[in-house]
Amino acid sequence: MDHLDELENQSIFILREAYKNFKNLAMLWSIGKDSTILVWLARKAFFGHCPIPLVHIDTTYKIPAMIEYRDHYAKKWGLNLVVGKNQKALDEGMNHEKGRIVCCEALKTQGLQCIMDEHGYTGLILGIRRDEEGTRAKERYFSPRDKNFEWNFKDQPPELWDQYKTTFADDTHIRIHPILHWTELNVWEYILREKIPIIDLYFATPEGKRYRSLGCAPCTGTIDSNAKNVEEIVEELKHATTTSERSGRAQDQENTYAMQKLRARGYM
């Protein structure tokens, strides 16, 4: 059993705990590499099936290729896709020029809240990882959110011996993070091993640019890279960089505790 097997087995265990313990469960699929391996892991956990609906929050500012990819694989893999939007905010003209944090909260956090209210989900599976940034390093696998969606990071439940928080009060929900313990390199090594089809925005253009993290077009930048395929990305990550994975994500750099503020109020 190598380190990827270890990671995979732990994630499958968590997905199965989530599936057993939550009647109304959904999985967030942002089309990025992390949530796409979650879909893959679910199919492993449930022997070729994905019995959990996939929620995609469409801000309408996503890079167009992402929507094409989403619809193609949703059909091919027989996924139950639920698309959510904060139509009210969009109608009122919300965009990143009103402030990146304001925009993220309206289109992503509140977009998510709308669809959660509509479907009554009590468990939400997300592909966040501890190595992404500081507040995520402090997350739990099963992380409660109150009725206002808020994360009380000062009073998190203990988590030991794979016993997770699966009982909770009405009006609250649990965020479940099956790949919390993976690193960016692990994700790419796994994509390589499993031959998971991944959106090609991650691969370098002939001009030597690639996306390292995917989000909305106006707030997501590329990095300089010549990595044209998964193997080359793995090599690039192994040997080079100490630049943060989310360096291309403008909202993180907005101010000192931007991520903490966003996440405390329900951001992914």
Partner 1 sequence: MSNNGNNLDLSSRLMRLVIVGHVDHGKSTLVGRLLSDTGSLSDGKLEFVKDICEQQGKTFEFAFLLDALQEEQEQGITIDTSQIFFDTPKRKYVIIDAPGHKEFLKNMVTGAADAEAALLLIDAKEGVQEQSRRHGYILKLLGLTQVAVVINKMDLVGYDEEVYSKIKTEYSKFLESLGVEAREFIPVSAKLGVNIAELKDEMPWYKGPTVLNMLDQFEKKPRPDHLPFRFPVQDVYKFDERRIIAGRVESGKLKVGDRVIFSPSSKQAVVKSIEAWSVPKQPNAATSSESIGFTLDEQIFVERGDVCTLMDELPIVSTTFDANVFWMGKRNLEKGRKFTIKLNTQEVECEVHEFKKAIDASTLETLSNQDHIAKNDVAELTLKTRSPVAFDLFGSIASTGRFVLVDEYDVCGGGIITTYNPTTKEDKLRDEVRTRDFNWIKSDIKPEERAYRNGHRAALILITGEPGSGKGPLARTLEHNLFQNNFQSFLLDRRNVNLGVSADLSNSTVEDESARRLGEVAKLFLDAGHVVISTSNAFHKEDQDDLRLLANPYQVIEIQVASQPTGEPDITLSLDEAQDAKAASTKIQDFLKEKKILMGHNYSI
- Contacts with partner 1 by CB under 8 A lie at 1-6, 8-10, 12-13, 16-17, 19-20, 43-49, 51, 130-138, 140, 153-154, 156-161, 163, 165, 167-169, 181, 183-185, 189, 194, 237-239, 241-245, 256-257, 260
CB nearer to partner 1: pick between 94 and 191: 191
**Residue 143, beta-bridge partner list:** 175
CB of 121 to partner 1, least distance (A): 18
- Evaluated on CA atoms 136, 24, 146, 87, the torsion sign reads positive
Nearer to partner 1, 96 or 140 (CB): 140
Distance CA 153, CA 145 (A): 10
**Shortest CB 93 distance to partner 1, Å:** 31
The residue with tokens 């698309």 is: 83
**Residue (58 or 131) nearer to partner 1, CB:** 131
The nearer residue to partner 1, 100 or 140, going by C-beta atoms, is 140
Taking phi over 0 as left and psi of -120 to 50 as alpha, with beta for the rest, 196 belongs to: beta
Name the burial class of residue 81, with classes exposed (0-12), middle (13-18) and buried (19+) by CB atoms within 10 angstroms of its CB.
Answer: middle
Q: Min. distance of Cβ 224 from partner 1 in angstroms?
A: 13
Q: Which two tokens stand for residue 36?
A: 């796409």
Least separation, in Å, of the C-beta of 97 and partner 1? Answer: 25
